[in-house]
Structure 1
Amino acid sequence: MTTRTIGCDTADGLSRAVRRIARDHALDPGVRGRLVLSVAAVAEPALSAAGHTSLSWTFQCEDEDRSGLLTLALGLDAPVALPSAETAAGLPLPADAVTEREVVWRLPAAPAPDAPADGPAPDDAALVTEELRAVVARADALTAEHRRLKDELAETNSGVLALYVQLDERDAQLRKAHGQTLRELEDALRPAPLEVDGLELAVHYAPAGTDAPTGGDLYDWFVLPDGTVHITVVDALGHGVTSTRGALNVTHAVRTLALEGHHLQSIVARTDEILLPFDRSVMATVLLARIDPATGELWVANGSHPPALLTRGDGTARYLEARGRGIGFPMPGSDRLLTEKMAPGDLLLLYTDGLTESRRDPVEGEKRLIEAAYEHLHAPIEEIPGAIADDMHTVILHPDDTLALAVRVRS
């Protein structure tokens, strides 16, 4: 491992030197272009002040195929302040370290050839063109991916969603007059009943008011190719048709990711990435559950949503606390994947906050929910969600859309 150092007196000379070093070590043209821009940006104050910088580089071979690590250090001898760690991290290619006298980049690379290759070496203009082509190709790939996702979401949300947006723009009197029609459309948004050997499933939904029978509380359930059952519960911010649109976007994106085989814990964060370019206003809490009917294995991921309640066949109960942040929140995603084992007779309850916060005290609501789940633990599954909602809403100080979904392992 040998360290080489050269002095550079001009920005053009420094850029050419960095470009040739990166080329000799087979860096990707896109990475090479970012490295040249970053080194030039850091060196500019020193070149302006003293007209000189130093450039050092070292290659360390790490494995048998001779790939390794290229360390490139820009020394700033001029009396100028070095960039802060935060500034260095914001460069086109973030620096890996800022010491007292230099800024350092470390990059996976190949060793430089011992001798020049046959034929003339590419001139600087050819290398710049190659870097620009790499940037354009990357931009084209991102544009194509965004267009594909946009087309998929547009196709999924056509029809009923377009009608919902139109209805939302009408006044409250018209929405109330067509309340029955809206209820039928709301039912059309729900997935078909799910019949799965080994499991019993049922759901209850009630809007906050009769003039807006749809809202941001939605659910989705389906069987994955491996036989496990996936369940999504979404609570989008707001009420009425506008929040329905956001909740639909979330459930459709989650379904797509789940069917593509993405890991359950990653789906909340990935959904936020997909929706951000198309709907920056959507904010939604999300609860994801995956159940294996054959074994009773249960996996739960959470994005700011109220925790699922698991009531055992013997009457004991506890909330499954899997913390995370929802769609549209800062740093969205589930912090961990919670796992449990459900036994015959166990009841899993997934719900939205309208179930537990009707009296404006969520802690008190969670205590009452445990009592209600125990009270109806052995009732027919199709009666359980509605019966629990009735018990929880004997007093309503804070009306809200309410969804309750029950899953029980067959005895």
Structure 2
Amino acid sequence: MPLLVMKFGGTSVANIDRIRRAAKRVGVEVAKGYDVIVIVSAMAGRTNELVGWVEEISPFYDAREYDAVVSSGEAVTAGLMALTLQEMDVPARSWQGWQVPLITTSAHSAARIEDIPTDNINTKFAEGMRVAVVAGFQGISPEGRITTLGRGGSDTTAVAFAAAFGAERCDIYTDVDGVYTTDPRITEKARKLDKIAFEEMLELASLGAKVLQTRSVELAMRYNVRLRVLSSFEEQSDDAGTLVCAEEEIMESNVVNGIAYSRDEAKMTLISVADRPGIAAAIFTPLSDAGVNVDMIVQNISEEGRTDMTFSCPTNQVARAEKALTDAKKKGDLNFHDLVADTNVAKISAVGIGMRSQSGVAAKMFQTLRDEGINIKVISTSEIKISVLIDRKYLELAVQALHDAFGLDKVA
């Protein structure tokens, strides 16, 4: 039979009533003739509760036991979903990651998927099982320990199963009804997209859009897994939600397809750094070793052998970045006059595959911000993206202005 993967996020399985609602959606697909692999998250709020218990016991916890505790939320949901489907006379059983087995690396709390053998689940399908309910977010290491994939890992689990089993499609059920041109909470003109290319979705996810986890989109693009983002709380039609697919499936789209933003950005500047070969490595190697996620990087023109280096990072990593760079200076690996952090900035990004073939996007973006009196602090570009750092107080104004300037409320 054709196979479908359906993933339900925490809000979609937050209580027994919602689990029943989700199970009914699964039952509809089974009635259409699909075998279904259901990937479930922990019930809303449960993972945070479990993490809190671990941290209350020990702030310097054993990561292996952390994974054993926090993975239990998904195991509970999987069992409840399987029981609900059985009550509906749908042949179903639950699977934890180690039972599949979903084999991962040994990096506890941040494991990566290495293999998903299909024999065990396919054997059960052949014996008459119609639904395999799999606990998302978790797997098993080569050492035989439970591992977790990092927050949002159930999206990655779902896409990985769709790739491994050759699923027709992977449906991601969440609390929004699709991917929008921007955050509808900021502008009521935001429009739901019927389709979006993998590359655009990957950029939007990495730039702050929280609809899909970045790693899940990377996997989908690599293995050409068609993703559909749907709401768990609305009636569905065959064309509901947003389809994330290959660029070739999209006939026409706007030059810019979305405006993304991230509030929690910081701009850090090293003042008067020696301008010599290897200076960039001397700055960014200790930042990498400290786990600082550096994004935009700008180096000023050198004067008298000295230069300024600016980069952005999440605000919650500023202290870590300051320590890493200060330690490097104390060791003599790095010399700079001062380190200045601005934690009141936001990142605004325009994303669209149409940028590849049309000029003038940057000019329009910069003119729009100028007309609103918004100063640009840092600029970064790629083939299908333009990002700027601005004062955080202008975030909503910038998003609304750019959404209007690029006509994102209109269908291409």
- Give the TM-score of the pair, scaled to structure 2: 0.24
Structure with more relative contact order (C-alpha pairs < 8 Å, separation 6 or more) = 2
TM-score normalized by structure 1? 0.24
